[in-house]
Amino acid sequence: MDNDTITAPATFPSLSAIGVIRISGGKTRGIMSSIFTLKNGKKPDFPHRSSVRGLIAGSSGIIDEAVAVFYESPRSYTGEDMAEISCHGNPFIVSAITSLICSKGGRIASPGEFTKRAFLNGKMDLSAAEAVKDIISAENKTALKLALSQLLGSENRAVSALREKLLSLMSEISAAIEFPEDAAAETGSFAPASAMDDLRERLLVLADIAGRGAMLKNGIRTVIIGRPNSGKSSLLNALAGTQRAIVTPSPGTTRDIIEVPVEIDGLPFKLVDTAGIRESSDAAEIEGVRLAKKAAAEADIALVLIDAGSSIDTEHNSALFNLADSRRSIAVVNKTDLNPAFNPKDIEKLAGFSGPVALVSALKKTGLDSLTNTIKSIIMGTDAAFPVNDIVITNLRHKEALLKAAQSLGSAVTALKNSAPVEPQLELVFADLKEAASFLGEITGAITDENLLEKIFADFCIGK
């Protein structure tokens, strides 16, 4: 890899004040010396870390005046000799300089290859490398804060600590295999069993946190469903603080999915308005209802709207609540500014729903604070502002690895507890623990394979 030198623009190809081009690899210093000339006509020698200003020129003449910063290995982002050229941000100039670098022995980098090299050269762990992509693609302030925390090592510290405990357990089991006479005294209650159970529970807690973190990173997808004219669009507008959905007295105004990103009490939401759910012969409305049902099934939170001014159709409203996960659903009784046609306390009896109930008036904008607190209590387990700093994992790949590790630990505990008193199946236990450690290693990069790395870095942008 030392002789393989890569290059790519690090800035978006559009008209701008500055464009940045990165180079990394063993030929970096030589390429920079060959294309760069100081204004006095001399060639810079680019010492271990330097910044120079001069002209970049190829065989056809001067391309641009630029500033170059050179970083000598290993004190660079990638751990290799590396340079960054800041030129004028005209895409033609950026493209010409990139092509010139390639003609001197460089090649265009693959997506994420700079960060991949940083990982392979020990400049960052794999979770931090993935955080780089999350920082670039963050869609809200919370997502950015979580990604920065991950980049700075919060996830690595949490997962590595658990993996170290796991490796320690493996050492105990290995010793028991090698010296069975010492382990015989532990018959029926081998010492590591309780430690394995404890570690498994901690992995499951971390996986649950990862699920919450993923929701915060992507925005809590909050889907509003209900019968036509129950006030779904009005509620979306009230929560968003602006009119984003059309509201008319006519039922069936909303036909398509309307998605609005908003921040409420510091948490990112994606509010989703849907078509009113009813039987229809209209093709467009039938498709709208299908999309509404699909959105409800995929929701992080489902707000099931019930019109306080209309009598409850028990069968229809029970069907509404069955569209989404009942553990993530809230019965929202809207239009409470009108004379209610039923007692909201009877929701469970009238609609078969025993979850939380929120009373709101989207028109008068009352009850919204209570509703958002109820949403937070479901997502975060508390109606107080959740401490985002407690979230250390937001990546669903990492959540899956944590769950797999917990499953392997569960198998190890079962094998240990079910072992014959005289001959405990410690080899099977050790194999399960080794598998769990491998899953955790896939998060930090302690255990990797090329297919995994290709899959991770393929989603990066070129130049990062």
For residues 343-360, give the mean pLDDT: 79
On the question of a common fold for 5-120 and 223-387, the answer reads no
Which of 243-252's residues contact partners 24+ apart within 8 Å by CB, and which partners? 244/273, 245/273, 251/276, 252/228, 252/276, 252/280, 252/285
Return the number of other C-beta atoms located less than 10 Å from residue 239's C-beta.
24
Q: Cis (ω within 30 of 0) for the bond into 74?
A: yes
3-state secondary structure of 182: helix
Question: Which CATH code, of 3.30.1360.120, 3.90.1150.10, 3.40.630.40, 3.40.50.2000, is assigned to 5-120?
Answer: 3.30.1360.120
For residues 371-392, give the mean pLDDT: 70
Q: How does 32-53 read in b/e, with b if 16+ C-beta sit within 10 Å? A: bebbbbeeeeeebebeeeeebe
Q: pTM for the full model? A: 0.76
User: Which residue is associated with the tokens 């800035």?
Assistant: 11
Task: For residue 247, give both structure tokens.
Answer: 């509201």
pLDDT for 246 beyond 80: no
At residue 386, the pLDDT reads 47
Task: For residue 180, give both structure tokens.
Answer: 């069975």
pLDDT for 383 beyond 50: no
DSSP string, 216-240: HHH-EEEEEEESTTSSHHHHHHHHH
* Rounded Cα gap, residues 62 and 378, in angstroms: 62
For residues 168-191, give the mean pLDDT: 69
User: What is the residue type of 80?
Assistant: E
Beta pairing, strands 258-264 & 301-307: unpaired
pLDDT for 352 beyond 50: yes
Q: Calculate the alpha carbon distances from 213 to 37, 155, 282, 296, 390 in Å.
A: 49, 12, 40, 21, 9
For residues 146-153, give the mean pLDDT: 89
At residue 183, the pLDDT reads 54
* CA-closest candidate to residue 110, choices 405, 442, 348, 457: 457
Q: Return the higher-pLDDT residue of 312 and 144.
A: 144
Place 454 in a pLDDT band, splitting at 50, 70 and 90: confident
Residues facing 38 on adjacent strands = 54
For residues 190-212, give the mean pLDDT: 86
pLDDT for 321 beyond 70: yes
Which of 309-314's residues contact partners 24+ apart within 8 Å by CB, and which partners? 309/335, 309/338, 309/339, 309/340, 309/341, 310/230, 310/341, 311/341, 311/342, 312/341, 312/342, 312/350, 312/351, 314/350, 314/351, 314/352
At residue 23, the pLDDT reads 97
| Average pLDDT of the chain to the nearest whole number | 85
Angle, helices 126-137/450-457, rounded to nearest 10 degrees: 20
For residues 231-254, give the mean pLDDT: 73
pLDDT for 185 beyond 80: no
Place 80 in a pLDDT band, splitting at 50, 70 and 90: very high
Which H/E stretch holds residue 343?
none
pLDDT for 320 beyond 60: yes
User: Which residue is associated with the tokens 């762990």?
Assistant: 125
Q: Return the higher-pLDDT residue of 460 and 420.
A: 460
* Rounded Cα gap, residues 313 and 350, in angstroms: 8
What's phi and psi for 262, nearest 5 deg?
Answer: -140, 165
For residues 152-166, give the mean pLDDT: 91
Residue pair 409/203 in contact (Cβ under 8 Å)? The answer is yes
Q: Calculate the alpha carbon distances from 355 to 115, 232, 332, 348, 436 in Å.
A: 46, 19, 11, 8, 36
For residues 267-290, give the mean pLDDT: 86
pLDDT for 2 beyond 80: no
User: Which of 71-85, 119-133, 147-161, 174-188 is the least confident region?
Assistant: 174-188
At residue 314, the pLDDT reads 64
| Burial class of residue 366 in the structure, from the number of CB atoms within 10 Å of its CB (0-12 exposed, 13-18 middle, 19+ buried) | middle
Among residues of the chain, what percentage have pLDDT more than 70?
A: 89
> Does domain 223-387 sit in CATH 3.40.50.150?
no
At residue 244, the pLDDT reads 64
At residue 78, the pLDDT reads 95
At residue 189, the pLDDT reads 46
At residue 384, the pLDDT reads 42
Residues facing 334 on adjacent strands = 307
pLDDT for 385-444, tens place per residue? 445 566 778 899 999 999 999 999 999 888 877 765 545 578 888 899 999 999 999 999
Domain boundaries, the chain: 5-120, 223-387
For residues 340-364, give the mean pLDDT: 80
DSSP state of 383: S
- 3-state secondary structure labels for all residues of 54-107: EEEEECCEEEEEEEEEEECCCCCCCCCCEEEEEEECCHHHHHHHHHHHHHCCEE
pLDDT for 296 beyond 70: yes
Q: Calculate the alpha carbon distances from 318 to 279, 298, 334 in Å.
A: 15, 18, 17
Place 226 in a pLDDT band, splitting at 50, 70 and 90: confident
